[in-house]
Chain A
Amino acid sequence: MNASVIDTTAKGAVETEGRDGRGEDDGTIGRSVKRQDLLEKATGHAKFAGDIVLPGMLHGKIKRSDVAHARIRRIDTSKALALPGVKAVLTHENVPRVLHYGSPHPRSASVTRDQYIFDNKVRYWGEGIAAVAAISEEIAEEALDLIEVEYEELPAVFTLDEATAADAPQVHDRGPGGNQVIDPIRVSRGDVDSGFAEADLILEGEFEFGRPTACYMEPNICVSQWDGNDKLTMWSSTQTAFMVRGILAEVLGVPLNRVRVLVDHMGGGFGAKQDLFQHEFLCALLARETRRPVRMEFSRKETFLGGRSRHPGTMYLKQGFRRDGTITARQARITLNTGAYGSHGPGVTTVGTTALTSLYRCNNVDLEGRCIYTNTPIAGAFRGYGVVQVYYGLDIQLDEAAEALGMDPVELKLRNAVREGDLAPSGHPIIGHGLEDCLRRGAEEVNWGPVRQATRNQDGVYRRGWGVGCEMHGSSAYPGIKEQGNATVKMNEDGTVTLLTGAAGLGTGAHTALAQIVAEELGVAFEDVSVVHGDTDIVPWDIGAFASHTTFMVGRAAQQAAADIRQQLLAQAALRLERDAADLAVRRGRIVAVDGSGSSLSVREAVSPTPGIPAAHLIANGTYTPTKSYSFAAHFVEVEVDTETGQIRVLQVVPVHEFGKVIHPVAAAGQIEGGIQQGIGHTLSEDYVVDTSNGRSLNAGFVDYKMPLAMDMPPIRTIMLETAPDPGGPFGAKGIGEDPIIAIGPAIANAVYDAIGVRFHCYPITPERVINALAGTD
C-alpha cells in the first residue's frame, strides 16, 4: 500500500495525497462525508438525556457530605419528607445494600468491588449520602437542607504519603492492606541490573502528576421510568449503556430484559462517563418508590464532586543509556491515587505500568505500579488511561538524555523508537510501527533543526522554545478486557441499509465512520446507510465506547456484517440476472458482472418485490474479537514563556499521527485538535485541587478549574499518516481517540525547557511553579 498523507490544514475540504489513484466518486472511505449527527446538533433538535420530559416527572437531588471520612451515626429525614412537594427520601437505611463494582466493565476486566449505593460511612468530602425526589428542583433542593446528619468523624488520609504511612487510617476494610486497592502490578523483562551496568549514562527522576478532570460539557444526567410491568427504562448520558444495564439489573435484582437503557446523543464523556454513578441507581430507586418518572441532573459542581478525574500520582523513573543513545535498562515505580473508591484504578494502574515497556524499546525493564485509596474524590477512566502520566515522565527523561548525550532529541527518539515485532505493552508483537514516520514527518514539517537553533541564547523577558513529545496507544482494552464488537446490518427492500450498533455516540463521529465502512464494503452510497444506536432493547450488545476502539473494533464487525449482506445481495441478484453469484460484484450501487458482460441491476432492483418474487429480507451479524493494535504520534510544539510572570503560551502545535487508515479525515482531525486542547490544559493549567487539611474540593467549577478556552488555544496544523495499517482494523484503520492527549504534555514540558532551561517533572506547569523555579526557590 502506498504511504499517504492527509493534510487538514487546508481550509474546509481536507486534502489527501496518494490515495491509490481513486477518483472523486469512488468509495467513501477517506472522505469527509457530511456527518449524520450534525444536522440535528446544529439545529438544536438533537435529543440529549436531559431533554427528555415525561408527564408527572419528579426531580431528584443528592445531599453530599461535608466531611471527608466519617461514620453516619444518625440521619433524620422526617423534616424533609414533611416538606410539601417532597415524594421520597433515600438514605443508606432504605436502599438495597449490594456491594458492587465501581466500573461496570465485564468481569473479565480488573475492576474492584468496593461500593454501595449508600454506605453508612462517607469516604470523601462531597460523597452522596441521601437523595430526594420532589415535584420541582427547587423543592428538592430545599429538602436537602432539612435532612439532619450526625457524623462520627474518622481520621482521614488525603495524600499518597499519608495513605501509605505505617499505621495510616484505612479508607476501606478490603484490599491487600496499606490502603492498596490491589496487589502491586509488577512487570519484569530481561535483567535491569546488567542493563544499568552496561549504561554509559544513567538518569533518575521523580515525577508528580496533578488531577485533571474530563469536564465534558453535558453534566451527568439520567431519567428513569418504571412501566406497569415493572420494567425500568433509563435515559442516561453514558458511554457504556449495556454496562449500565448490567449493573443496574444486578443491584436492583431484576433480569436484563426488564432494564432498558437509552442514549441518543451525549454531550461528551472522554472516558469519564463509563462508571456507574450513584445518581443512576438513585434515580431508578426513586422512580420505583414513587411510581413516577424521575429526572436527576448533576450541577456542574457535582460533576467534579461526583464525577471521575484522571489519577494523580507520582513516578520514580530510572533509565540507562549507551553513548550512542540505546536504552539499556528502565526501572519505574508508579503510585496512583484512586481517591475514595477503586473505580478504574486497577485498570489504569495496569495499563500505565505496562505502557512503560514500550514506546522506546528496552530489553531490560523492571516496573511496579501501585494504586492507593485516599479520602479524596474518585479518580477513574479518562482519555489516555494511565498512559498520559507515565509517558509524560518517560518522554521528558528522553529529552534529558538527549541533552546529556549531546544528541538531538528527535535523533535519540528515532534510535529507540518501537518497531515491528517488538513486544507491545499488551504482550504481543507490534504490527506496523508508525512512530519513526511521525517523528520524521513532523521534524521536516516544522524545520526542526533550524527552529531549535533559533531558540539558543535568548535573554529577553519573553523566551521561545520548541519541544517534541511522542506516544503510542492501543486500540481496544485487550488484554485487560477480552473485548468484542458487534454489528447487525439490514438491507431494506428499497436497497437502503440500516446498521444497528450498540456503540455510543460520544460526538466523535464514530457512527458516521461505521456507516462509511458499511457503504464501502457493500459498494453503495454513504447516504443510503443509516445508523440505529442507543437502545439496549434493540441494538446488538456492545461493551461501550472507550479505549479508542469503536471505529477499529465495531468497524470491523460492521464490515463483516456488510460483507455477509453483499453475498446475500449477490445471491438475490444472481436469481434475477440468471447468472452465477460468483461472477457478480456491487459497484457504486449497481450489481454488475465482474467481467463487464451482460446486463446489470441496481441494488434496489435486486431486493425489491416484483411480480412473482417477494421482497428480499437481508440481515447479517458481524462479531469481532480483536487483540490489539497501536497508533502512534509525535507532537511538535512551540511555546513562549514570560519570564517575569511565569505564564506559558503555546504558540503552535504540529501533531503528526499515524493510524493506519483515515476513515473520515475531518472527524479524525477533530479528535486530534480536541485532545490537544485537553492536553494543553492538563499540562499548563488544569488541576482539580483538594485541600489536604480537610479534603474539601477547592475549585469545583469552571471559574477556578482552568480549561484553555478560545482565546488560549493556538493554531494546530494536523498531519495524519497511513503508513502502518493494521490488518485487524477495517480497511487498516486503528484507533485515534486517546492518542492526541498523550504526546502534547511532554512536548510542552520539553519546549519550556528549550525556552528557559528549567526542567519540570510535574503537571500542571503553573506560572507560579515557573517563577519559583526561575527564582531558584522551588
Chain B
Amino acid sequence: MKRVDYHEPTTLEEAVQLMTRYPDTASFFAGGTDLLVELREQTRRADHVVNLKRIPDLGMLTFDPRAGVHCGALVTVRTLENAPFIRAHYAGLWQAARELASIPVRERATLAGNVCRASPSADTLPPLIADQAVAHVYGPAGRRDVTLEDFFLGPGRTVLSHEEVLTGFSIPAPEPGTGKSYIKHGRRKAMELATVGVAVTLTLDGDSVRDLRIVLGAVAPTPIRAPEAEQVLIGKRPEPALIEQAAEAAIAGSRPISDVRSSADYRRRMVGVQTRRALQQALEAAR
C-alpha cells in the first residue's frame, strides 16, 4: 500500500471540512474492509483517509415496533447479524448480513460502508431496498434523506457528493403478514461475492399478495427492482404458476454481464431459479 495521511475528525462538520479540503484525494474510512483492500490493490487512489470512528453517536442500532430500525453509520454487519430484532423482522437483511464475507470481516465492515461502496453484487443492498430503507446524509448543505432505491447510480457510484457523509439508515417496521428472504447465489457456501442476489419483501392480505418488492443484485450496474415481476403477483393468490411467471418476468428485467464469475446467460437463468425460491421462502415466512 502507498503512503496516506490519516485524519480522525470528532464531529461531522470536521469530517466534511476535511473532505472539502482534499477534493479528489480523500476517502471516508469506517470499517475499512473495502477501503484498505482497494488501496492495497490500487483500485482506488487516496492520499488522505478520514476515519469516522471517533465521531460520537454514529454507532447506534435501535428498533421500535412502530418506527422500525435506526442504524448508525458505524454499526457493523456483525452487530446486525447478532441483533435478535433484525433476525425476527428483517430476515432478508439478516440473511445477507450473515453471508457477507467472514465473521472477522463482519466485525469491522459497516452496513453504511457496504452501501457507499455501491458494488452491484453487495449483499445488503437488495434487502435494504426491498425493505424501503432511507439513507440519512449530512453534507456542506446540511442534512437530506434519500431512499436506498434512488441511492445508486452505477458500480461504485452513488448520489453522495464527495463531501457528503452517510450518517445512518431508517428501515420501516414490517407490516403484519410480511415475509422476507434473501438468496445469494455463488459457487461456495461462504466467502463469496454474489453472482446473483435476490431479495423479496412480501406482504399477504389473507390469501393474496398485497405488497411485494423484488430486488435483484449483481445483474445490472446497480441493484434493481423487478417491477414487472412484482406486478404479476400483487393482488393475486401466489399460485406456483404465477410465481413461475414472476420469475420469468424477473429474468426479462435483468441486464447481467459476463465476467470471470459467470456468463450473463447463466446469471439470467439463476435470476429465474432464485427469484422463484426467494418468493417461496418469503411466502412461507409471511404465512
Annotate B114-127 by CB proximity to A: 1 below 8 A, 0 otherwise. 00000000000000
Q: Is the beta-carbon distance between B189 and A712 smaller than 8 angstroms?
A: yes
A142 on the B face (CB < 8 A)? yes
The yes or no answer to B270 lying at the interface (CB within 8 A) is: yes
Q: List B contacts of A703 (CB < 8 A).
A: 191, 193
Question: Contact at B260–A141, with CB atoms within 8 Å?
Answer: no
Residues in A neighbouring B187, C-beta threshold 8 A? 647, 685, 706, 766-767
Chain B residue at minimum C-beta to C-beta distance from A681: B188
Question: Which chain B residues border A710 with CB–CB below 8 Å?
Answer: 190
What chain A residues lie within 8 Å of B263 (beta carbons)? 768
Interface residues of A in 699-716 (CB under 8 A from B): 699, 702-704, 706, 708-712
By a CB distance below 8 angstroms, the chain A residues around B3 are 138-139, 142
In-complex Cβ contact of A711 among B185, B190, B273 (8 A): B190
Do A301 and B41 touch across chains, with their CB atoms under 8 A apart? yes
Within B173-212, the residues touching A (CB, 8 Å) are 185, 187-191, 193
Q: How far is the CB of B273 from chain A (nearest CB, A)?
A: 5
Q: Which one of A141, A646, A698, A712 lies within 8 Å of B1 (CB-CB)?
A: A141
Tell me if B260 and A699 are in contact (CB < 8 A).
yes
Q: Would you list which residues of chain B between 28 and 76 have a CB under 8 Å from chain A?
A: 40-41
CB closest chain-B residue, reference A136: B3
Q: Does A704 contact B261, Cβ atoms closer than 8 Å?
A: yes
Complex Cα gap A511–B1 (Å): 38
- Asked if A704 and B1 sit within 8 Å, CB to CB, the answer is no
B76 → chain A closest CB, angstroms: 20
- In the bound complex, how far is the Cα of B3 from the Cα of A299, in angstroms? 17
Q: Kindly state whether residue A14 has any CB partner on chain B within 8 Å.
A: no
- Residue B262 CB within 8 A of the other chain: yes
Q: Are the CB atoms of A711 and B188 closer together than 8 Å?
A: yes
Residue of A137, A646, A699, A767 with most chain B CB atoms under a 10 A cut-off:
A767
Cβ of A407 < 8 Å from any Cβ of B? Answer: no
Size category of the binding interface on chain B: 20 to 34
A93 at the B interface (CB under 8 A): no
Q: Contacts A301-B41, A699-B260; is A645 near B185 (CB within 8 Å)?
A: yes
Does B269 sit within 8 A of A, measured CB to CB?
Answer: yes
Contact between chains at A712 and B266 (CB < 8 Å): no
Q: Indicate whether A689 reaches chain B with its CB closer than 8 angstroms.
A: yes
Task: Give Cα A708 to B269, complex, Å.
Answer: 24
CB-defined contacts of A709 to chain B, threshold 8 Å: 188-191
Contact of A706 among B40, B188, B269, B273 (CB under 8 A): B188
Provide the bound-state CA to CA distance between A141 and B1, in Å. Answer: 7
Contact B189 A711 (CB under 8 A): yes
Residues 235-263 of B at the A interface (beta carbon under 8 Å): 259-263
| CB contact between B273 and one of A645, A708, A766 (< 8 Å): that residue | A645
Rounded to whole angstroms, the CA-CA distance of A332 and B172 in the bound complex is 65
Q: Give Cα A704–Cα B193 distance, bound, in whole angstroms.
A: 8
Contact assessment for B2 and A142 in the assembled complex, using a CB-CB cutoff below 8 Å: yes
Cβ < 8 Å to B, chain A residues 635-650: 644-647
Give the one of B259, B261, B263 with max A CB within 10 A: B261
A27 to B31, CA, bound (A): 55
User: Considering the chains assembled together, what is the distance between the CA atoms of A771 and B263 in angstroms?
Assistant: 12
Task: Contact check, B260 vs A768: say whether CB atoms are below 8 A apart.
Answer: no
The residues in B between 1 and 20 inclusive whose CB is less than 8 angstroms from any CB of A are 1-3
Q: How far is the CB of A700 from chain B (nearest CB, A)?
A: 10
Closest residue of chain A to B1 (Cβ to Cβ) is: A138
Q: Roughly how many angstroms separate A261 CA and B35 CA in the complex, as a whole number?
A: 38
Q: Which chain A residues (679-699) contact chain B, with CB distance < 8 Å?
A: 685, 689, 698-699
Residues on A with beta carbons closer than 8 Å to the beta carbon of B260: 689, 698-699, 704
| Distance of B34 from chain A, by nearest CB (Å) | 12
In the complex, are the beta carbons of A768 and B266 less than 8 A apart? Answer: yes
Whether A138 touches B188, Cβ cut-off 8 Å, given contacts A644-B273, A704-B261, is no
CB contact list, B145-181 vs A, under 8 A: none
Contact indicator B266/A771 (Cβ below 8 Å): yes
In the complex the two chains form, what is the Cα distance from A608 to B187 in whole Å? 63
Residues of B within 8 A of A142 (CB): 2-3
CA distance A771 to B40 in the complex (A): 37
Given contacts A703-B193, A768-B263, contact A645 B270 (CB under 8 A): yes
In the complex, how many angstroms separate the beta carbon of B128 from the nearest chain A beta carbon? 22
Q: For A768, what are the chain B residues with a Cβ–Cβ distance below 8 Å?
A: 262-263, 266
A710 to B261, CA, bound (A): 21
Would A712 and B188 be within 8 Å (CB), given that A645-B273, A771-B269 are in contact? yes
- Shortest Cβ distance from residue A92 to the other chain B in the assembled complex, whole angstroms: 24
Q: Interface digits, B257-286 against A, CB 8 Å rule (1 contact, 0 not)?
A: 001111100100110011000000000000
For B274, the closest partner residue in chain A by CB is: A645
Q: Bound state CA distance, A138 and B274, in angstroms? A: 44
**Are B2 and A141 in contact, CB atoms less than 8 angstroms apart?**
yes
Q: Which residues of B are found within 8 Å of A766, using beta-carbon distances?
A: 187
Contact of B2 (CB < 8 Å), options: A138, A685, A699: A138
Contact, CB under 8 Å: A708 / B188: yes
Cα distance A527–B216 when bound, in Å?
Answer: 61
B3, B188, B259, B270: which has the most chain A beta carbons within 10 Å? B188
Q: Which residues of B contact A708 (CB under 8 A)?
A: 188
CB-defined contacts of A141 to chain B, threshold 8 Å: 1-2
Q: Which residues of A contact B40 (CB under 8 A)?
A: 299
CA distance A710 to B188 in the complex (A): 10
User: What is the bound-complex CA distance between A685 and B270, given in angstroms?
Assistant: 18
Which chain B residues border A772 with CB–CB below 8 Å?
A: 266
- 6 closest A-B pairs by beta carbon, nearest first, are A711-B189, A698-B260, A768-B266, A644-B273, A706-B187, A711-B190
B residues contacting A by CB (< 8 A) are 1-3, 40-41, 185, 187-191, 193, 259-263, 266, 269-270, 273-274
Jot down 12 A-B pairs with beta carbons below 8 A, ordered by A. Answer: A137-B1, A138-B1, A138-B2, A138-B3, A685-B188, A699-B260, A703-B193, A706-B187, A708-B188, A709-B189, A711-B188, A772-B266
Beyond the given pairs A141-B2, A709-B190, 4 more chain A to chain B contacts, judged by CB atoms under 8 angstroms and listed by A's residue number, are A645-B270, A647-B187, A698-B260, A711-B189
